[in-house]
Structure 1
Amino acid sequence: MINIKSIWENHKPTGDIIIKTRIDEIPHLNCFAATNHITGQHLYIMSVSKNVAIPELKNYRFKGVEIYTLPFEDKIELYIYLLDNELKDIFSLFVQNILEDIEPSVTESDAITTTLNVVSKWKKLFDKINFNGLTLEQQKGLIGELLFLNYLLNNKKTSTNAVNAWTGVEQEFQAKDFTLGSVGIEIKFTSSKQPRIKVSNERQLDAESLNELFLVLYSTEAVKDNGISLNSIVEQTRKNISTEEERNLFKGKLQLYGYFDEDKEHYGKMYSLKKTFAFNVTSEFPKIVKSDLPLGIYDTSYSIEISAVENFIVESETIIEKI
């Protein structure tokens, strides 16, 4: 994997305003990680021939990121410029995604088309980020996902790939909350006195191309003291992550979720974990998936009674065994 963030971090002043490092891992394309030496802002540059058609870019711009082109000698340079340094961890994930997707491109035109497709996906993700803090339901959902992330971090078999496996923030790519190879895991968190499984759309329990799909439900109750808060589980996760690179990745994914440290004062509500349920979502598991719906019906939400799926309960260790 190309570590774009480490390239930026290793940039040293050269006397130029823009410090550029060519990304040699993609030798057939002219791609650069760059830093504005004056402002410290990061950017990504792709240089292509003048005869490569690049569409109007005004519809590709989004919060904290500027996208534009500049002529350079006999080339055109596409700039993706980070304006808000608070978003540098998200920006790293964004550019990483571009590099991974353009690597198989045969021509510069293919690479530009692929780049703008990735930009469009990430624009949708950025537009969904709540920069004014998370709602209570969003906080609960994030606590649930971080509880399971810590379960993976604390298991030798999954600890090294746990943060990468957290794909819940990539919902625009129709990912499951966690994806490890051909195994997917959906996470639910409830503080209801009568726990049930709330499914928000027909994609969540669709195994799609997975060999195995599991659902984990954390049943909790709200408490005043000695419980789990969003802030406490975030700090616990940071301590459990062993490398700086993974902590940066984790921070970027938190920001994609809408969690920013400056909002911490709003995330003190605590919960006590009563019980953890794990279910094997087989073809017989009661659910609604896309193939069940008439044409034109989508985003179907529904609830499942625990008593209706007791036969599908498995031990949490079963999930690890299947990975």
Structure 2
Amino acid sequence: MRTTPEILQRQWNSIDYKDGGFLQIDTKHPLEWHIGYQSISQKTLLLVCATDIGTIESSRSMAVTRRKRETDNRWALSFELLRNEQEGVFAILCSDIIEHSRSASNEKEALTLVISRYKQWSRLLESQRSGLMDESSRKGLLGELLFLQERIEEGDSALTAIQGWVGADGADQDFVYEDGWHEVKSVGASATSVTISSLEQLDCAGEGELVIMRIDKAAPDKAGALSLNDAVSQISGNLTGASDALDLFRSKLSTYGYLDLQEYSEQKYYCSGSQRFGVNDTFPRLVRQNVPTQVESLHYELSLPSLAGWLKG
């Protein structure tokens, strides 16, 4: 049985923090798990094992403590929530760490998976306090993944295609290749405008493209619908023989703020089509050169029907 965030939350709610002690959970897991409170507001996840646990650094979000128990000489490792504003995601984190290590064949392997997953979560929570991407970010990432998949299917080597995904690393444009740059925007099927979020987004040397991906939420059984995790799995599956490309892909996903969480499998989306607009000197855009120097930043909307003159066939 899967340990879900909802199950964990109910179990935490059943504990009277004043009584102290911890509640053992998930007895069929390779590791021994307990949950409890350090104080009224500090939820804690605790694992116990015979395997020696090395030093693990705490983060600003979680205090990680290891100790050897005198009663049985086993090791205890606890994860304690420090930021109250992240309480909502802590149950998701704990559930994910437990499930991520469930498939291990032995205790040592399970512990290695736990520590590795904690480090991924720690990096994620430093940059993204909620831990989960919001709806706009999920659709945005899905649009970029669909575009990346197209590049690979059209003949780019997997490594070249992924190296060109520079937006994942914080660049102003999403993709940059020898044939030009590409800014990908995910909007609904009926959207008539698109938001440009900075002066730099459509400002790059040479001609480029504004790529519109028409993406909406869909019923789970709709033909062609896929979740965010589905899109990641499809690309990863095509990279099984290209370890360098797969490692780089995973690294960029992590930098983007993505982890393969169950929550990203639940909602399905459907891409009903795409449009490509050529961005050249005549394209209606705001860039550093054509706005007053006093303007430091801005975002604006472009009318999609009005861009028909730049629509590519």
2:186 is aligned to: 189
In 1: Cα distance, 2:242 partner to 2:61 partner: 29
**1:181–1:220 Cα change, 3 Å:** same
Q: How many residues align?
A: 205
**The residue matched to 2:266 in structure 1 has which SS?**
coil
Consecutive unaligned residues of structure 2, counting only runs of 5 or more, are 1-52, 63-114
Checking the alignment, whether the CA contact within 8 Å between 1:176 and 1:186 is kept in structure 2 is yes
2:138 is aligned to: 139
**The residue matched to 1:153 in structure 2 has which SS?**
helix
Checking the alignment, whether the CA contact within 8 Å between 1:129 and 1:256 is kept in structure 2 is no
Offset of residue 183 of structure 1? 1.6
Normalization by structure 2: what TM-score? 0.57
In 1: Cα distance, 2:300 partner to 2:155 partner: 36
**The residue matched to 1:228 in structure 2 has which SS?**
coil
Q: Does 1:223 align with 2:218?
A: yes
Identity among equivalent positions (%) equals: 25
Q: Does 1:272 align with 2:270?
A: yes
What do residues 66-94 of structure 1 show as CA deviations (whole Å, max 9, x unaligned)? Answer: xxxxxxxxxxxxxxxxxx7448899xxxx
Q: Does 1:306 align with 2:304?
A: yes
In 2: Cα distance, 1:257 partner to 1:169 partner: 5
Offset of residue 62 of structure 1? 8.7
Checking the alignment, whether the CA contact within 8 Å between 1:218 and 1:273 is kept in structure 2 is yes
Offset of residue 201 of structure 1? 0.9
**The residue matched to 1:197 in structure 2 has which SS?**
strand
**The residue matched to 1:250 in structure 2 has which SS?**
helix
Counterpart code for 1:284: T
Consecutive unaligned residues of structure 1, counting only runs of 5 or more, are 1-37, 42-60, 65-83, 91-122, 316-323
Normalization by structure 1: what TM-score? 0.56
1:237 is aligned to: 235
Offset of residue 311 of structure 1? 1.0
**1:238–1:162 Cα change, 3 Å:** same
**1:299–1:223 Cα change, 3 Å:** same
In 2: Cα distance, 1:154 partner to 1:40 partner: 44
Offset of residue 166 of structure 1? 0.7
Checking the alignment, whether the CA contact within 8 Å between 1:130 and 1:258 is kept in structure 2 is no
Checking the alignment, whether the CA contact within 8 Å between 2:214 and 2:274 is kept in structure 1 is yes
**1:280–1:246 Cα change, 3 Å:** same
Coordinate RMSD, CA, aligned: 3.2
1:214 is aligned to: 209
